[in-house]
Amino acid sequence: MREERYEAVMGLEVHVQLSTKSKIFCGCSTKFGAEANTKTCPVCLGLPGALPVLNREVLHRAIKVGLALDCRTAKMMKFDRKNYFYPDLPKDFQISQYDLPLAANGRLGILTDGKERTVRIKRVHLEEDAGKLIHMEDEDASLVDFNRTGMPLLEIVSEPDISSPEEAYDYLTQLKTILKYLEVSDCNMEEGSLRCDANISIRPKGQVELGVKTELKNMNTFKGVKNALQYEIKRQGEVLDEGGTIKQETRLWDEAKGRTSPMRTKEEAFDYRYFPEPDLVPFIIDKELVESIRKGLPELPRRRLERFIEDYKLPPAAASLLVNEKEVADYFEDAAGIYKKDAKVVANWITGDIQGELNKRSLSIKELGIKPNDLADMIKMIDEGSITGKIAKGLLADMVETKMNPRKIVESKGLLQIKDKGELDKILYEVIKANPKPVIDYKNGKVNVLTFLVGQVMKATKGKANPKMVNDLLRERMDKL
Amino acid sequence: MKKNIDVDYIANLARIKLEKKESSDFSSQLGDIISFVEKLNKVDTKDTPPTTHPLPLMNVFREDKVKESLPAEKALSNAPDKKYSFFKVPKVIEEA
Ligand SMILES: [Zn+2]
């Protein structure tokens, strides 16, 4: 098998848009979805004489990310010009960082197939985003919207420590989780606030020297990244098997066709001729600033996972599901703080039925609208015996629909559990009368028909009876027959 | 020592069209300039800190406040061509 002959070496470049109010070097708004070219100014349009000035908040957020990724923050950083011609770049250069990036030498722990791995982070640097091109269908022209130029971007470059598409996927998921915890970006791939390119090469197993790599672009989802890498491993393997050589090139992923193809571009040589950006002064990042940002770091997912397992006695799988999304983890802690009896029960509801509702409706937990207090109330009602577990499941959907407290819903819909023996007895009588054959079977020793009869009672009560109680009563009654 | 500069390559990167004569003239002139500047390589800079910026200024920031942007008509006022509120350019496409 080819997969066993070769091993893949991958590195990822992630661009994340920092969600500040204004752009990186000017006061234009970063709001998404504005009408084309209404969020520009002389600075981000690159008009002569305009001077860029760094947004302080951008630097602070970037330092935060660097620290969370265990990077060394630079004592001094500067900006450089990366020169190339493209119509989405009004100045014909991009302000980026070349030899003195903001942070370097970090790492990110990932868990793939139960195995822990560390991916080293090579560097984290700041740059400005370019504009957006729309290609016209009916004309040989492209339209440019410069609203996105000058949006603050952080580029996070990994070392080539990733050895499978699954690891790449986990790296991205973990990175996104951390960025969300840090509240520095909304990480919305659809709006382009999180983008990923990949470098990939393969080599015969055991070979130390790296193979020729290709760069993959145009993946719009994490799953797309995984699929593109899978495709590329196979493609490169086939080229080598046929005695060919891999060409160092940029390839575009086509999600619909499920394949990569070389990018056609007019720029034959990418020679960026970096040089220091004379319009921006260098930055000394002092220790006190870094330390104060470090102190303000939130609890990161790794640490939180450990705490959930230890403090709430959750199984690792459940804890990990909860921790993956900060909002969900916060929600769990709020609900578990109200329903203190058993955090595991709370976790089960969240990772089970609530997660199901979230997936079904593609909503975030905040949008779902079940307050932690309402979930706790619902669980308490099961404990008190006022509703059955079965009713609770349907009740959850009602809570989503009505945004009401479960007690109110149960009252108004009459879903309270039938605890009155007399009332239940009447229903049992009807069921026994209507099912003479199973009753005879039972009397003849076929005890398993009891399940059927319990089911009939549950149906008749619309799930409002306690199955165990029904079971016991049925037995009692039929034994007397 | 005189450097030989690939002027055609540089001209292409800078999107400048050169005549053959210009190309050879500039090659020689650029070579002279580089050789001249290369004298600096002979200076001992062991104890000289690298200069990252000629101004003795550091850490100039602006606060994260939104300022009013230009109206689209103004932003587009120098555009050779436009459509709706977009700049219109010859088609450039990065595709497979
Ligand atoms: Zn601007």
Give the closest-approach CA distance of B54 to chain A in angstroms: 8
What residues in A contact B89, CB-CB < 8 Å? 87, 141-144
Could you report the per-residue pLDDT of A37-76, keeping only the tens digit for each?
A: 999 999 999 999 999 999 999 999 999 999 999 999 999 9
Q: Which of B65, B83, B95 sits opposite A22 (nearest CB)?
A: B65
Beta carbons of B16 and A85 less than 8 angstroms apart: no
The predicted model gives A145-155 an average pLDDT of: 97
What residues in B contact A21, CB-CB < 8 Å? 64-66
Please state, for a pLDDT cut of 70, what percent of chain A lies above it.
97
**Tokens 């070349």 correspond to what residue?**
A98
User: Residue A248: how many CB atoms within 10 A of its CB?
Assistant: 10
User: Residue A383: how many CB atoms within 10 A of its CB?
Assistant: 12
Residue B75's pLDDT is 96
Distance (Å) from CA A82 to ligand 1 centroid: 19
Query: Angle CA(A169)–CA(A172)–CA(A173) in degrees, nearest 5?
Result: 85
Residue of A nearest to B53 (CA): A281
DSSP tag of A33: T
Residue B53's pLDDT is 78
> In whole numbers, what is the pLDDT of chain A averaged over residues?
91
> In whole numbers, what is the pLDDT of chain B averaged over residues?
88
Report domain extents, chain A.
2-292, 299-413, 421-480
- Of residues B49 and A147, the one with the higher pLDDT is A147
- Of residues A197 and B51, the one with the higher pLDDT is A197
Residue of A nearest to B82 (CA): A143
Q: Which of A41, A56, A141 sits opposite B89 (nearest CB)?
A: A141
Beta carbons of A283 and A80 less than 8 angstroms apart: no
Residue A1's pLDDT is 46
Residue A276's pLDDT is 93
Give the closest-approach CA distance of B50 to chain A in angstroms: 12
DSSP tag of A39: S
Residue A388's pLDDT is 79
| pLDDT of B1 strictly over 60 | no
| pLDDT of A204 strictly over 80 | yes
Q: Which of B64, B75, B96 sits opposite A262 (nearest CB)?
A: B96
Could you report the per-residue pLDDT of A81-119, keeping only the tens digit for each?
A: 999 888 999 999 999 999 999 999 999 999 888 888 999
Q: Find the range with the poorest average confidence among A2-6, A13-17, A458-462, B77-81.
A: A2-6
Burial of B40 (C-beta count, 10 Å sphere; 0-12/13-18/19+):
exposed
Q: Does the structure's ipTM exceed the value 0.85?
A: yes
The reply to whether residue B87 touches residue A144, judged by beta carbons under 8 angstroms, is yes
The pTM score is 0.82
Quick one: pLDDT band at residue A212, thresholds 50, 70, 90?
very high
What type of residue sits at position A180? K
Give the closest-approach CA distance of A245 to chain B in angstroms: 20
Those residues with Cβ within 8 angstroms of residue A363's Cβ, 6 or more apart along the chain or in another chain? A357
Interface test with B, best of A21, A37, A93, A266 (most B CBs within 10 A): A37
The predicted model gives A5-14 an average pLDDT of: 96
The CATH number for A421-480, chosen from 1.10.510.10, 3.30.420.40, 1.10.472.50, 1.10.10.410, is 1.10.10.410
Q: Collect all residues from B whose CB is shorter than 8 A from any CB in A.
A: 9, 13, 15, 52-55, 57-72, 75-76, 81, 83-96
| pLDDT of A393 strictly over 90 | no
Residue of B nearest to A252 (CA): B96
* Nearest-angstrom CA–CA distance, A417 and A470: 12
CATH number for the region B2-41 comes to 1.10.20
| pLDDT of A395 strictly over 70 | yes
Q: In chain A, which among 83-112 make CB contacts under 8 A with chain B?
A: 83, 85-87, 100
The predicted model gives A412-426 an average pLDDT of: 76
Interface test with A, best of B55, B70, B78 (most A CBs within 10 A): B70
Give the closest-approach CA distance of A244 to chain B in angstroms: 21
Beta carbons of A253 and A221 less than 8 angstroms apart: no
Beta carbons of B96 and A263 less than 8 angstroms apart: yes
Please state, for a pLDDT cut of 90, what percent of chain A lies above it.
68
Instruction: Please report the sign of the dihedral spanned by the C-alpha atoms of residue A426, residue A430, residue A431, residue A436.
Output: positive
Q: What is the CA radius of gyration of chain A?
A: 30
Give the closest-approach CA distance of B16 to chain A in angstroms: 12
Residue A267's pLDDT is 53
Burial of A472 (C-beta count, 10 Å sphere; 0-12/13-18/19+):
exposed
Using CA atoms, how far residue A178 sits from A111, A224, A299, A427, in Å, is 14, 21, 10, 55
Report domain extents, chain B.
2-41
Residue B3's pLDDT is 63
Tokens of A76: 């001094």
Instruction: Please report the sign of the dihedral spanned by the C-alpha atoms of residue A420, residue A423, residue A427, residue A433.
Output: positive
| pLDDT of A443 strictly over 90 | no
What is the distance, to the nearest Å, from the Cα of residue B17 to the centroid of all Cα atoms in its chain? 16
Distance (Å) from CA B68 to ligand 1 centroid: 9
* Nearest-angstrom CA–CA distance, A147 and B43: 47
What residues in B contact A54, CB-CB < 8 Å? 60-62
Residue A196's pLDDT is 96
Quick one: pLDDT band at residue A127, thresholds 50, 70, 90?
very high
Query: Angle CA(A86)–CA(A88)–CA(A92) in degrees, nearest 5?
Result: 50
Could you report the per-residue pLDDT of A319-345, keeping only the tens digit for each?
A: 999 999 899 999 999 999 999 999 999
Quick one: pLDDT band at residue A4, thresholds 50, 70, 90?
confident
Residue A465's pLDDT is 79
The predicted model gives A220-236 an average pLDDT of: 96
Highest mean pLDDT among A166-175, A365-374, B43-52: A166-175
Nearest by Cα to A19 from A8, A27, A30, A28: A30
